[in-house]
Chain A
Amino acid sequence: MSYAIPGFRHPNLPKNDLGFTTKDYEGAVSTLCAGCGHDSISAAIIEACFELSIPPHHVAKLSGIGCSSKTPTYFLGNSHGFNSVHGRMPAVATGANMANRDLIYIGVSGDGDTASIGMGQFVHSVRRNVDMVYICENNGVYGLTKGQDSATTDIGSKSKKGEPNAMEPIDLCSVALQLGATFVAQSFSGDKHQLVPLIQAAIAHRGFAFINVISPCVTFNNTPGSTKSYDFIRQHMASSNTVDFVPHAEEITTEYAPGTSTSVTMHDGSAINLQKMDPNLDIHSRRSALALMQEYKAQDKVLTGLLFVDEDSQDIHTTMNTTKTPLRALSEKELCPGSAALEKINQSLR
């Protein structure tokens, strides 16, 4: 159930460095259920891009199929979007990135789209370290087909009409870490303060940035027995750190108590300031992240925050040594060897 957004906006809406207001980053009216966690994630993407003063057309947004994959229509209306086929967003995003390395690619997927039908594509896009943000809007349920368990549903978790789930869930953050992802974070759609800077840091990261966002499904999976309901997540969420993203141009002003903060400088000069909530997490160590996630899981808790980052990450274009010019901008002059070269080839074939 959705309501039309009035066209009117306050004339004094704040503007960013480019002179755009948040309105310039909004999309069409959401058709998702009222209270859907996914809409909060869309709002966080809008805020993240607005705050970073990203020209809207410098973003390409891509998705697969499912409730989550519908959301790119609801944010960044001035950006090109591609709602592809089920589970195949990573391939389309990879190809798009090959064609033009200068744009920012935001891929949106869900738990069905990522952990089931698209698992193969997900793991290989991680391995390739494609420069993109991959957000999995994880609600542990198939919404559009009305409430089946997904591959991320926890053992024993009950959806609205289902039996308790009997199968081991796939932990996408652990998978990403094991596959060598260079940026892994976990968050909750209801925690905008954490999610917005995480998205900003993911955009600044050069390489594959994965954010698993637990996003309750109000219609099919917000029941008392579900481990992906608002209440459950609010009660069982544990932050590894609080995140503050500082764009390159800004002065770092955030202050933390000595010994509890870390600052990570990204390749573009921006910084992520982290307030450590759990001193055991070393965000530069995959092992530390994996161990800590396991520990929290044993306590029935979900660890959120930035879990791992490799700021020296080299994206696929760097490893392939592709030209700095977007490939799509090359013309006949650079691409076609011409008739003289062809005659030489002919000669070698006689």
Chain B
Amino acid sequence: MKREIITNLFVVKFANVNGTGSASANRLFSKAVFRMGVPVSPKNIFPSNIQGLPTWYEVRINENGFLGRRGGIDVVVGMNPQSMERDIGELERGGYFVYDSSKPLDKKMLRDDIDYIGIPFTEICRTEYTDPRQQQLFRNVMYIGSLAALLNIEFDVLTGLITDQFKGKEKLIAPNVHALELGFKYAQEHFDCPIAFRVERRDNVGNKILIDGNSACGLGAVYGGATVSAWYPITPSTSVIDAFARYCRRFRVDPETGEKNFAIVQAEDELAAIGMVIGAAWNGARAFTATSGPGVSLMTEFLGLAYFAEVPTVLIDVQRAGPSTGMPTRTQQSDVLTCAYASHGDTRHICLYPSNPKECFEFTATALDLADRLQTPVIILSDLDLGMNDNMCDPLEWDDTRTYDRGKVFTAEDLDAMEKRFGRYLDVDGDGIPYRTYPGTHPTKGSFFTRGTSKDEYAVYTEAGEKYVANMDRLLRKWDTAKKLVPAPVIRKTKQPCTIGVVYFGTSEAPTLEALYHLEDLHGISLDSLGIKALPFADEIADFIEAHDYVFVVEQNRDAQMRSLLISEFDICPDQLVSLLHYDGSPITARQIRREIRDWILRTTTTPRRRGRK
């Protein structure tokens, strides 16, 4: 079969059994491609289980820098007999199936439109190593070695990575390199290497970094000055706190005394976690928690208190597939509405929607400023895809002249100089944001009682209707003020005016932008786009929708939650917003977005601006 050589534009999927140590070997593969200057986008697809069930690692290699999921697989490394049939079925025509040939392949697994590469990994390991654990671990490293030969990955890059990885444990370097060599040599001796899919060195990565969103959030909390973190373990948010703890141990421990400039409390549940954050923030510390959907459900009562009593609160929601326990290890953007209006009564919360790790870092630090400035909860809606996968992004940046915005806080001196009575909920500046004092500020001035019950401007309990309404209306003024402070939407316009737009947020960004590129490139369809970065929605979002006849809203949930939010916040005619949804627990693909938009445009009477095919 004569084949086209495809360089730096393909998808490799590793099929493993979880708990066998495959994760670090697979990571080695991604990082090697990345170090060869070729953009990569790896995604873990794993079960809610500790050991024994199928797990996958899908790596998209794309020299053009498209980082969303493409859809379709070109090369499968099938190390798990349980999932083999399905894994083979997923391969595109002309793909390769690399497998452990220690056992012969069942005939029903054979397809005539793909190639099979059988390497007896287990057998080689059995002769090479006596310890069963080593047999398992080095089998993983060995298939990476084979892939290096098959895909033309520079071997030196792999040895360099091994050397970096085992800094401080140098005696592990040689055996790992040996395992790589075993795999490499076998492939080279038995197959025509390289195969049709190849990696070739490029300079398309620049100074970019490879980091998962949860680590970036944890680091953002360190840079943003969070000192108190309270949390309850839940997938996929746990690694946010792990990262915060790791970076705190590195940067926030006094080398002489061992004293810590931070406090992390593992709470008994999410109710307590958010309560602790509210208590700490009320008392003047920057505090945050991280959770996922079920945790948000439990936190809603406290979120209402923080909204109504006006206590700064930062919550990172790493979304997973719901409802209820749902699919705990699968991704979704399905907490949009629950976060926007969490809690009973008229509540609304500031929400930030990061699309990549750099935004995770920046939005977390910004959320701590916004919460202090606006004295209200700020929820960062990440998701499992962004939080738990390495994402290629621009390097993280910090301006050393930046100071923390602690918002409107009266000091003892301010209180002494004050002639009028201090009113905790007085709108002194007309922006809806009152002044607060920290407990312990002054012996006789500035104390107040924080409560979830209705109160007047001086924090005194009241059930007087007009006082209640005045307070609720002030909270709306504050919401308007927030519009100007939250991250602005990102608008991309085509050169010519166009009648159709696309709105996306969070992890739908990369696949949407890729789909738009291909729509223009393949079908001559050019569309404007807008990335929503925050609620309250900026006026530009309404203007954008207004300026187009139809606007697609791309999101990863069943009920078109962002679309509903846009309709309710802006009073938009629902007919104008076209849903483009994906909610099977996997990240949305560029291919799906491109096809759905193309088909819709072909179906409808609207004539979009078209250009001839290139």
Residues of A within 8 A of B (CB): 24, 28, 55-58, 60, 62, 72-73, 77-85, 88, 90-100, 102-103, 120-121, 123-124, 128, 316-317, 320-324, 327-328, 330-332, 334-339, 341-343, 345-346, 349-350
B440 lies within 8 A of chain A by Cβ = yes
Say which one of B95-103, B264-272, B319-327, B537-545 lies at the interface with A: B264-272
Q: Are A323 and B260 in contact (CB under 8 A)?
A: yes
B279:A56 contact, CB within 8 angstroms: no
Given contacts A124-B268, A334-B261, contact A95 B450 (CB under 8 A): no
Which of B225, B265, B302 has the largest number of chain A CB atoms within 10 A? Answer: B265
Q: B440 and A60: CB pair below 8 A?
A: yes
Option from B265, B272, B448 in Cβ contact (under 8 Å) with A98: B265
Contact across chains for A95 and B230 when beta carbons are under 8 A apart: yes
Contact, CB under 8 Å: A99 / B285 = yes
Give the top 6 A-B pairs by smallest Cβ distance, nearest first: A95-B279, A91-B275, A95-B276, A99-B285, A80-B439, A328-B284
Task: Give the chain B neighbours of A83 by CB distance below 8 A.
Answer: 449-453
Residue in B247, B269, B444 whose Cβ sees the most chain A Cβ within 10 Å: B444
Please judge, given known A-B contacts A85-B302, A323-B261, whether A99 and B283 are in contact too, CB under 8 Å: yes
- Collect the chain A residues with CB atoms within 8 Å of residue B283's CB: 60, 95-96, 99-100, 103, 328
B163 → chain A closest CB, angstroms: 14
Pairwise interchain contact A84-B452, C-beta atoms closer than 8 A = yes
Q: A77 near B447 (CB under 8 angstroms)?
A: yes
Q: Which of B207, B208, B279 contacts A91 (CB 8 A)?
A: B279
The reply to whether the CB of B282 lies closer than 8 angstroms to some CB of chain A is yes
Closest CB-CB distance, A32 to chain B, in whole Å? 13
Asked if B496 is an interface residue, CB under 8 A from chain A, the answer is: no
Interface size class of B (residues with CB under 8 A): 35 or more
Complex formed: what's the CA distance from A83 to B448 in Å?
11
A70 to chain B, nearest CB (A): 9
A121 touches B209 (CB 8 A): no
If A60-B283, A90-B272, A98-B280 touch, does A322 touch B209 (CB 8 Å cutoff)?
Answer: no
> Using Cβ atoms and an 8 Å threshold, which residues of chain A touch B443?
55-57, 78
Q: Chain B contacts of A337 at CB under 8 A?
A: 222-223, 247, 251
Asked whether, in the complex, the Cβ of A57 is within 8 Å of the Cβ of B447, the reply is: yes
Q: How far is the CB of A226 from chain B (nearest CB, A)?
A: 29
Once the chains are docked, how many angstroms separate the CA of A323 from the CA of B263? 9
User: Quick one: given A72-B449, A84-B275, A100-B283, are A346 and B398 in contact (CB under 8 Å)?
Assistant: no
Q: Are A82 and B282 also in contact (CB < 8 A) when A322-B263, A339-B400, A349-B211 are?
A: yes
Pairs A–B under 8 Å by Cβ, sample size 24: A62-B279, A73-B449, A80-B437, A80-B439, A80-B440, A82-B282, A84-B279, A84-B452, A91-B274, A95-B278, A96-B280, A98-B276, A98-B285, A103-B439, A123-B268, A128-B265, A327-B228, A328-B227, A332-B402, A337-B247, A341-B251, A346-B207, A346-B396, A349-B209
- Bound-state CA distance A331–B285 (Å) is 10
The contact of B285 among A24, A94, A123, A328, by CB within 8 Å, is A328
Query: With a CB–CB cut-off of 8 A, which chain B residues contact A99?
Result: 227-228, 279-285, 287
* Structural contact, A73 and B447, CB atoms closer than 8 A: no
- Chain B: CB-nearest residue to A93: B279
Residues of chain B lying within 8 A (CB to CB) of residue A103: 283, 439-440
**Contact partners of A327 in chain B: CB under 8 A:** 227-228, 261-263, 280, 285
Residue of A nearest to B206 (CB): A350
B447 & A79 in contact (Cβ 8 Å cutoff): yes
B42 to chain A, nearest CB (A): 14
Contact indicator B265/A57 (Cβ below 8 Å):
no
Contact of A322 among B211, B259, B397 (CB under 8 A): B259
Chief secondary structure at chain A's binding surface = helix
Given A349-B209, A349-B210, decide whether A95 and B440 contact each other with a Cβ distance below 8 A. Answer: no
The reply to whether A95 and B287 contact each other, CB–CB distance below 8 Å, is yes
Task: Collect the chain A residues with CB atoms within 8 Å of residue B302's CB.
Answer: 85, 88
Listed residue (B225, B227, B269, B281) with the most chain A CB atoms within 10 angstroms of its CB: B227
B399 interface residue per 8 A CB criterion = yes
Contact B277 A95 (CB under 8 A): yes
B404 at the interface (CB under 8 A from A): yes
A334 to B320 alpha-carbon distance, docked (Å): 35
List of A residues within 8 angstroms of B400 by Cβ: 338-339
Closest B residue to A28 using CB positions: B460
**In this assembly, does B301 line the interface, its C-beta being within 8 Å of a C-beta of chain A?**
yes
Q: B129 — which chain A residues lie within 8 A by C-beta?
A: none
Query: Is B404 touching A332 in the complex (CB atoms < 8 A)?
Result: yes
Q: Does B305 contact A (CB under 8 A)?
A: yes
Known: A99-B280, A321-B260, A335-B227. A120 touches B210 (CB 8 A): no
Closest to A336 in B: B223
